[in-house]
């Protein structure tokens, strides 16, 4: 490992802590604001900041592209499902089941992404990928059921929160699959992220300015700081750093750092809200992390056992 790689791995480590804090700050804001208000300010601020970053980036100058009508349709679908719907479901899951548990379930999306990518023949399937998916799904089952089993699962509020968390992960899966299959190679990661934010930002602002302008009301200075934090620091900033890291690190190495988000979120949720996870849920979280690592690094594992 050279100095440049070590520097970017250190940056990613800190980035994942900031990314994890998004769940914590969101839970605080949800005590005073509606989920849709958080989604609007997150997407709006992230769009503005990433737009400025992209305008001054080398990617804009070096990677020229022209969007077809089909590209615009795909970007809009990605935006409405992977950005708008996924963000709203994320907020609702944090509200109903807490920051720690929501973070664990939402970050299972690499399992869904890999499975769908294999079905659509975007990626090749392998024994280790299927093994990782099975281990990860087993972990999801452990987390969902917790120590109180099916009775707790059928609790209306708890079940809603679980469904919202998984739907948020599905939305992120659609965003990633469309990007990997169709647009990221053409546009670049930063441009794809920005152009998927723009339709959601436009629709949300236009719709709620007409229907319910009250969602734009900020009642306190701390609320404004919170909105700026989740939009700029915990969304635009971390997405930009992660996209930048892909220029300096192997994609598998960079993606593996996302495995730190659930445990960091759980630790922060315990520190700030005294949220407790059962031993069964912790084992489930470990299974999910192991499963995601396997599906993300199956070739490395194959090469290791060939030695």
- For the stretch 116-138, pLDDT in tens is 777 777 667 777 888 888 888 88
CB burial string 30-59: b at 16+ within 10 A, e below: beebebbbbbbbbbbbbbebbbebbeebeb
Cβ–Cβ < 8 Å for 165, 101: yes
Q: Where are the domains of the chain?
A: 3-306
Higher pLDDT, 174 or 167: 167
pTM: 0.81
Distance of CA 197 to the CA centre of its chain: 14
Report whether 74 contacts 183 (CB < 8 A). yes
> Distance between CA 250 and CA 247 in Å, rounded?
8
Q: Would you say residue 39 has pLDDT above 90?
A: yes
What average pLDDT score do residues 261-290 get? Answer: 85
Residue 98 backbone zone (phi > 0: left; psi -120 to 50: alpha; other: beta): left
What is the reported pLDDT for 147?
45
pLDDT tier at 233, thresholds 50, 70, 90: very high
């Amino acid at each position: 490992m050279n100095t440049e790689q070590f520097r970017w791995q250190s940056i990613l480590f800190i980035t994942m802590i900031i990314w994890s804090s998004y769940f914590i700050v969101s839970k605080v804001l949800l005590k005073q604001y509606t989920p849709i208000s958080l989604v609007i300010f997150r997407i709006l601020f992230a769009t503005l900041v990433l737009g400025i970053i992209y305008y001054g980036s080398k990617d804009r100058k070096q990677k020229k592209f022209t969007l077809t009508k089909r590209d615009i349709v795909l970007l809009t679908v990605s935006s409405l499902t992977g950005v708008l719907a996924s963000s709203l479901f994320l907020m609702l899951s944090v509200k109903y089941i807490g920051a720690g548990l929501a973070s664990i379930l939402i970050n299972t999306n690499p399992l869904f992404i890999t499975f769908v990518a294999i079905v659509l023949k975007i990626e090749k399937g392998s024994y280790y990928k299927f093994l990782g998916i099975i281990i990860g799904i087993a972990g999801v089952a452990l987390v969902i059921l917790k120590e109180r089993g099916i009775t707790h699962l059928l609790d209306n509020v708890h079940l809603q929160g679980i469904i919202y968390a998984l739907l948020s992960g599905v939305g992120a899966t659609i965003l990633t699959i469309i990007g990997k299959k169709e647009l990221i190679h053409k546009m670049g990661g930063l441009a794809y992220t920005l152009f998927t934010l723009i339709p959601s930002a436009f629709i949300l602002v236009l719709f709620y300015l007409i229907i319910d302008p009250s969602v734009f009301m900020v009642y306190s200075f701390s609320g404004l700081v919170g909105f700026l934090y989740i939009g700029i620091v915990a969304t635009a900033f971390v997405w930009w750093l992660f996209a930048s890291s892909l220029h300096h690190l192997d994609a598998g190495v960079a993606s593996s750092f996302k495995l730190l988000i659930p445990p960091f979120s759980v630790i922060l949720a315990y520190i700030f809200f005294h949220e407790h996870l059962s031993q069964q849920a912790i084992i489930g979280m470990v299974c999910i992390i192991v499963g995601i690592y396997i599906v993300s690094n199956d070739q490395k594992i194959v090469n290791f056992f060939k030695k």
